[in-house]
Amino acid sequence: MKITRNQLRRLINEERQRILLEREEERMSEMREFSNSKSGKKVASAGGKISSAANVISEVADDQTGTIRKTLYNISEFVGKLGESLSGIGYIQEGGSVTDNLPSIQELRQLHRDIQKLEK
């Protein structure tokens, strides 16, 4: 059986693509590598501490009234999301992202406005 030059090129290119795909699957993202490191585990632990701080802020908000209560709940929610995101670094799932749990820019802006109202 004879193989033409074009057929040989096509076979070589297909094999090359297959090898590149295998390498890509084996490669870990930088975030996944970090999450498996000692430093990544420290960041995840710090995220847990931040989440517990959010619980404390929420408990303090229970004792308050009015605008300060609402603002403290918003702070607690914001800090809680940040803590959950950081503590989730150690548990990155395939297809998931640490950024899924981060608070949004709109939440930060609203929190900023709420705190400004309290300062007036």
Domain shared by 20 and 47, yes or no:
no
Please tell me the distance from the alpha carbon of residue 92 to that of residue 71, in angstroms, as a whole number. 31
Give yes or no for residue 33 having a pLDDT over 90. Answer: no
pTM strictly above 0.75: no
Domain shared by 9 and 63, yes or no:
no
Reported confidence tier of residue 36, pLDDT bands at 50, 70, 90:
confident
Domain count for the chain, please give it.
Answer: 2
Domain shared by 77 and 100, yes or no:
yes
Domain shared by 101 and 72, yes or no:
yes
If you search the block for the tokens 């820019």, which residue do you land on?
105
Angle at 115 between CA 47 and CA 66, to 5 degrees: 105
- pLDDT tens-digit map of 68-111: 999 999 999 999 999 988 888 766 655 567 787 889 999 999 99
Please tell me the distance from the alpha carbon of residue 73 to that of residue 81, in angstroms, as a whole number. 12
CA contacts within 13 A on the Cβ side of 96: 12
104: left (phi over 0), alpha (psi -120 to 50) or beta: beta
Structural domain including 93 reads 37-119
